[in-house]
């Protein structure tokens, strides 16, 4: 998260209302204009290098809830790819802090291209690397999906074969997180599906009935 002294002003000159807020501030903003940019960022990470031109996703929750920031300020949340947990030695280590700062500058540079003055408006930031996510939240290797969203860990194989129906070998222990079928994100589907299984087991409800 980043605290800014002003809303990002987009170089495209998008319209704003009397408070300076426009539709460009209310959604999720991506700063990629070509598929090649995503491909290049991924290829960097594949060899243990934090992306030189990161893929950046920006949201500004304070335009909806002003209490999140001091008057005249805004909170900007940045979800960034790709930052490999296992960094090649020649590029540093997330534990030393310096790599985290350098990578953050790369992120800011991307936004600055589209929102001139963004870097100058930064008051403070809470930077979380993959290692920080692991240490603070217990997420293995900082993977917010808990495991790969790849063919070998999807559908009946998520999180592993024979465990895709949310039940576990331990009585009354169910899986409902991002590592469960069908995966993470803001959809809430793993929790919804798991709740249906719990209702079926506890109250003997048909799995089709609770969806209505």
Q: What digits encode the pLDDT tens for the residues 12-35?
A: 877 777 778 888 888 899 999 999
Q: What digits encode the pLDDT tens for the residues 170-205?
A: 989 999 989 898 888 778 899 999 999 999 998 877
At residue 17, the pLDDT reads 76
Mean pLDDT, range 135-157, rounded to an integer:
88
pLDDT tier, 71 (very low <50, low <70, confident <90, very high otherwise): very high
Torsions phi, psi for 78 (to 5 deg): -125, 120
Is the confidence at residue 163, as pLDDT, over 60? yes
Give this prediction's pTM. Answer: 0.83
Mean pLDDT, range 117-125, rounded to an integer:
96
Average pLDDT, the chain: 90
Kindly give, in sequence order, each residue whose CB lies less than 8 Å from that of residue 147, ignoring residues fewer than 6 positions away.
Answer: 140, 153, 158, 159, 179
Mean pLDDT, range 126-152, rounded to an integer:
90
Is the confidence at residue 77, as pLDDT, over 80? yes
At residue 212, the pLDDT reads 39
At residue 23, the pLDDT reads 86
Tell how far CA 72 is from the center of its chain: 26
Kindly give, in sequence order, each residue whose CB lies less than 8 Å from that of residue 112, ignoring residues fewer than 6 positions away.
Answer: 118, 119
Q: Exposed, middle or buried by CB within 10 Å (0-12, 13-18, 19+), for 89?
A: exposed
At residue 22, the pLDDT reads 86
At residue 208, the pLDDT reads 61
Is the confidence at residue 56, as pLDDT, over 60? yes
CB atoms within 10 A of CB 91: 15
Mean pLDDT, range 55-67, rounded to an integer:
95
**Which token pair is 56?**
């950046």
């Amino acid at each position: 998260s980043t605290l800014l002294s002003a809303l990002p002003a987009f170089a495209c000159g998008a319209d704003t209302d009397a408070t300076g807020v426009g539709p460009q501030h209310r959604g999720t903003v991506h700063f990629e204009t070509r598929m090649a940019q995503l491909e290049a960022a991924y290829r960097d990470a594949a060899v243990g290098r934090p992306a030189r031109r990161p893929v950046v996703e920006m949201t500004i929750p304070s335009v909806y809830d002003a209490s999140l920031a001091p008057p005249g300020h805004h909170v900007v949340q940045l979800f960034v790819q790709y930052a490999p947990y296992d960094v090649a030695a020649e590029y540093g280590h997330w534990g030393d802090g310096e790599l985290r700062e350098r990578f953050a500058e790369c992120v800011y540079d991307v936004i600055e291209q589209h929102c001139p003055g963004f870097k100058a408006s930064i008051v403070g930031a809470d930077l979380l690397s993959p290692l920080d996510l692991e240490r603070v939240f217990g997420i293995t290797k900082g993977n917010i999906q808990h495991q790969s969203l790849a063919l070998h860990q999807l559908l009946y194989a998520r999180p592993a074969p024979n465990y895709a129906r949310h039940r576990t070998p331990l009585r009354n222990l169910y899986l409902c997180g991002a590592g469960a079928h069908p995966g993470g994100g803001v959809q809430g589907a793993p929790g919804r599906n798991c709740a249906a299984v719990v209702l079926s087991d506890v109250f003997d409800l048909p799995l089709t009935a609770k969806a209505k």
